[in-house]
Amino acid sequence: MSADETTITTPGVAGPLTEDHRRVLRDLSAVERRPGAPKPDAILTMDDVQRRFGGMTAVDVDHLEVQEGTITALIGPNGAGKTTLFNLVTGFDTPNSGRWSFQGKSLAGKGGAAVAKAGMVRTFQLTKALSRLTVLQNMLLASPGNPGENLFLSWLPFTWKKHEAEATEKAMEILARFKLDTKAADFAGSLSGGQRKLLEMARALMTDPTMIMLDEPMAGVNPALVQSLLGHIQALRDEGMTVLFVEHDMHAVRHISDWVVVMAEGRLVAEGPPESVMKDPAVVDAYLGAHHDTDLGDDALLDPAILARLEAEEENR
């Protein structure tokens, strides 16, 4: 199976395949390679989603299913409508028409907060780490169901101290995993761009999401940190979460995604496993002009020697 091969042979990124991941890849290998193909276990399903800005149709998606337990990449040239689609599905924008459901429940017309509560949590292209709160406060803010966030209980600390202590413990565990635990007491504004991306991802994890939506997680991140970000994203999937991410960085897409959805001019133009979809004529067409003379999956960064050098540079900063 070709998808298998890619993930296994990627140095530095892929760990050993989990049983679940094997099953998911097996399921995906049977899926048709065409836009809007039905999947055996779709966690997110969209139908006829349209968003127009004046006369311009930014998003016009007839049908899209996202398979549960996978890392699905949403790619496409600039202005393809990827982020708009993201905003629509996560309740940060209102479509002109369309419906979509998450885990069988319709989320159409729900606001951003309701979508997050349903278990679909997103991050933003321009990182939204709250810089005037400390790193730990950022994490605690995300903890769901905190009784102290109710105004009527907030002035009675004994009603929320227990939840707060448990949330702090959980937050520190997650921060340790993202190597941010030593920064817990610092204002998030003092973090570097890459660390803010990590914090945003860590914060999203605090909400115990079933699905995590990442809007350009690698944008503006130091190449050495990209590697660790990719590892974290794979770890999310291996823990059973579904990941949908928008990305421009093609080698990131190629080496961690299980399935790739390509958009151009608001429509889906192709779907498939990463290595085959990039050879799809529709995709080459979509990118022509922007990327036609570059290898969509540039391997240079995966050379261990180059990586080691970049990592050393990051250490010495």
Partner 1 sequence: MDEFLRIITQTLAELIAPTTAAYAIAAIGLNLHFGYTGLLNMGQAGFMLLGAYGFGIATIAGAPFGLALLVAVVAGILFALILGLPTLQLRGDYLAIVTISAAEIIRWVGRSTWLQEWTGGASGLQGRDFKESFHLLSPLPDGRTAIGPLEYINTGSDSWWTRIFAWGLVALILVFVWLITRSPWGRVLKGIREDEDAVRALGKNVYSYKMQALVLGGAIGAVGGVVYALPLAIAPDAMGRTMTFFAWTVLLLGGAATVFGPVLGSMIFFAAYMLMRTGMRSLTANTGLGDVITTTNVEQIGGMLVGVTLMLLVIFRPQGILGNKKELAFNVR
Q: Which residues bind partner 1 (CB under 8 A)?
A: 90, 92, 111-114, 116-117, 121-124, 128-133, 137, 140-142, 144, 146, 148-151, 154-157, 160, 164, 187, 189-190, 203-204, 206-207
Nearer to partner 1, 156 or 288 (CB): 156
Please list, in sequence order, all residues whose beta carbon lies within 8 angstroms of the beta carbon of residue 239, skipping any fewer than 6 positions away: none
Q: How far is the CB of 111 from partner 1 (least distance, A)?
A: 7
Output 103 or 276, the one with its CB closest to partner 1: 103
Neighbours of 165 (CB within 10 A): 10
Q: Which is nearer to partner 1, 52 or 128 (CB)?
A: 128
Residue owning tokens 């429509």: 267
Nearest approach, Cβ of residue 120 and partner 1 (Å): 10
Angle subtended at Cα 35 by Cα 98 and Cα 298, rounded to the nearest 5 degrees: 120
Q: Which of 80/206 has CB closer to partner 1? A: 206
Token couple for 132: 């005037």
Nearest distance from C-beta of residue 173 to partner 1, angstroms: 18
170: left (phi over 0), alpha (psi -120 to 50) or beta: alpha
Q: In angstroms, what is the minimal distance from the CB of 260 to partner 1?
A: 24
Which of 217, 258, 213, 212 has its CA nearest to residue 18?
A: 258
CB 306, min distance to partner 1, A: 34
CA–CA dist 125, 167 (Å, integer): 26
CB of 132 to partner 1, least distance (A): 5
Q: Between residues 206 and 286, which has the closer beta carbon with respect to partner 1?
A: 206
Please list, residue by residue across 249-264, b when 16 or more beta carbons sit within 10 angstroms of its beta carbon and e when fewer do: bbbbbbbbbbbbbbbb
- Closest CB 116 distance from partner 1, rounded Å: 3
Helix 193-206, helix 161-177: angle, nearest 10: 130
In whole angstroms, how close is the CB of 211 to partner 1 at the nearest point? 13
Toward partner 1, which CB reaches closer, 105 or 132?
A: 132
> In this complex, which beta carbon is closest to partner 1, that of residue 127 or of residue 227?
127
Instruction: Dig out the tokens for 74 from the structure.
Output: 């949403």
Q: Which is nearer to partner 1, 11 or 112 (CB)?
A: 112
Q: Is 86 exposed, middle or buried (0-12, 13-18, 19+ CB in 10 A)?
A: buried
Residue 265 vs residues 56, 77, 84, 219, 274: alpha-carbon distances, Å: 10, 8, 11, 21, 20
Q: How far is the CB of 1 from partner 1 (least distance, A)?
A: 36
How far lies 133's CA from each of 19, 82, 138, 193, 219, in Å? Answer: 40, 30, 6, 16, 23
Q: Which amino acid is at 131?
A: S
d(CA 224, CA 202): 19
Q: Which is nearer to partner 1, 203 or 255 (CB)?
A: 203
